[in-house]
Amino acid sequence: MKNKEYHSKAPIYEALEAYRKARVVPFDVPGHKQGRGNAMLREFLGEQCLSVDVNSMKPLDNLCHPVSVIKEAEELAADAFGAKHAFFMINGTSSAVQAMVMSVCKKGEKIIMPRNVHRSAINALIISGAIPVYINPGTNKKLGIPLGMSIDDVKRAIKENPDAKAVLVNNPTYYGICSNLKEITKIAHENGMYVLVDEAHGTHFYFGENMPVSAVEAGADMAAISMHKTGGSLTQSSFLLLNCDLNVGYVRQIINLTQTTSASYLLMSSLDLARRDLVLHGNEIFHKVVDIAEYARSEINKIDGYYAFSKELIDGDAVYDFDVTKLSIFTRDIGLAGIEVYDLLRDEYGIQIEFGDIANILAIISVGDRSLAIERLISSLSEIKRLHSRDKAGMFDHEYINPEVILTPQEAFYSEKLSMPMNESQGKICAEFVMCYPPGIPILAPGEKITQEILDYISYAKEKGCFLTGTADPKIENINIVINSVNS
């Protein structure tokens, strides 16, 4: 049990309140000067918000080199998560994932990871020059979604690459699927490898009851935590947890390579207050979230044609556990791609869910949700089925395609490139990303061979209305390929 009196403090928030009450005259940045210089912005965000949108100074500490209130807030966060150290991240969890990889892998060193990683992990390889050893995840044949990391696949990858420096694990996946993190950590550590966990969607594992195992509890070395996703902080604010003997100062230097020197105190104070709230009230918060999600899942499964999946997927390996707070719903049996249901919910019913893909949708459930809103989601899904369902013949039946990796991401990304029409690129080596966003998992990454199956998938995703990103061409009609693959 955490010491709740200790965690009732919020050092950054308290320092900002003291600053605001002191009525300091600002002759520093930001130039809006507590909102006085931008009336429209002040009216939109509020005077109180803008009065604490400030720059680093002695009373407020400095995120690049914390010595006072930020240092104390980091110590509180580390204690809250049970880690050895916690870094405040205000460039999003993407920068936390990149810092993890770059802290343990240098140019030419190998890292074992699932291929269905977020683009931030592959971006880390482009920046650092580390070499990926991809584990292709299994796929649930009915749902078409990638699963977690199989223990046998991890063992095989380690045996074939004993010189790898680390194993990176997504836990949980966007869909709520968890790998056997304790066993993966044990095997990796026995072979002298670090374990890094992209735990963007797992903040609640640390504070709720009967949740899947957290990265820290499993003994992993580092974890990237998206506090803004399920922890209640502002968008773009996250934690990087350090749970091993890596030098804290060195990891901070790695973070400072890419993180801004103008850290937002709005983001940092939101992390400070969210940590406080989760330690003091997290148990009851996530008990409510689970109840809401389980109720919604039960009601949606009564509508013929939808499948809100859960713990019944558990197989003890590639689906070792399931995060029941995730309301993931299979839609293909009503003849609609997930992205089509996503668009209908937003455009026709005024409901914004997290994402839709080829066959599924995901609704994020949090303590902020209310019964009336949940009932509206359920009834809207029922009506969409009644009004828009059709024959599912000809629909794409899987979300993940095993890539053929020819070059490392860094080699391909920085190679001489040629832009060519997407539909003429079969057999060439991709020099950029193509992905649906969200979730931001690449369909194609730099260094991978462009196959007809991948091109068909991209065409289908476009047709169904997925928001494609990653290419230099904003219309996603042309793709950059490695120039020496033109005649391949």
Tell which residue, 429, 426, 425, has the closest CA to residue 445: 429
- Quick one: how far is CA 360 from the chain centroid? 18
Specify the residue for token string 């095997």.
187
Distance from C-alpha of 380 to C-alpha of 376, rounded to nearest angstrom? 6
User: What's the whole-model pTM score?
Assistant: 0.94
pLDDT of residue 398: 64
Cis peptide leading into 59, omega within 30 of 0? Answer: no
Instruction: List, run by run, the mean pLDDT of 10-residue segments along the chain (488 residues).
Output: 88 95 88 91 93 93 97 98 98 96 97 92 95 91 90 97 98 96 98 98 96 98 96 96 97 96 96 97 96 97 97 96 97 95 97 94 91 96 97 73 90 95 95 87 93 91 88 94 72
The topology under which CATH files domain 58-280 is Aspartate Aminotransferase; domain 2 (3.40.640)
HSE-CB of 471 using CA atoms within 13 angstroms: 23
pLDDT of residue 485: 63
The topology under which CATH files domain 409-485 is Molybdopterin biosynthesis moea protein, domain 2 (3.90.105)
Going by their DSSP bridges, the two strands 468-469 and 478-482 should be labelled as unpaired
Specify the residue for token string 């709005």.
266
Contact, 259 vs 289, CB < 8 A? no
Domain ranges of the chain: 58-280, 281-388, 409-485
pLDDT of residue 397: 65
Q: Say if domain 281-388 classifies as CATH 3.90.1150.10.
A: yes
Distance from C-alpha of 149 to C-alpha of 146, rounded to nearest angstrom? 9
Residue spans of alpha helices (H) in 204-264: 215-218, 227-230, 248-258
SS3 14: helix
pLDDT of residue 488: 46
Contact, 151 vs 183, CB < 8 A? yes
Domains 58-280 and 409-485 equal at CATH topology level: no
A 10 A CB-CB count for 290 gives 19
Q: CA triplet 96, 98, 101: central angle to 5 degrees? A: 110
Biggest CA-to-CA distance, the chain = 69
Query: DSSP letters of 265-300?
Result: HHHHHHHHHHHHHHHHHHHHHHHHHHHHHHHHHHHH
Distance from C-alpha of 382 to C-alpha of 361, rounded to nearest angstrom? 14
pLDDT of residue 440: 79
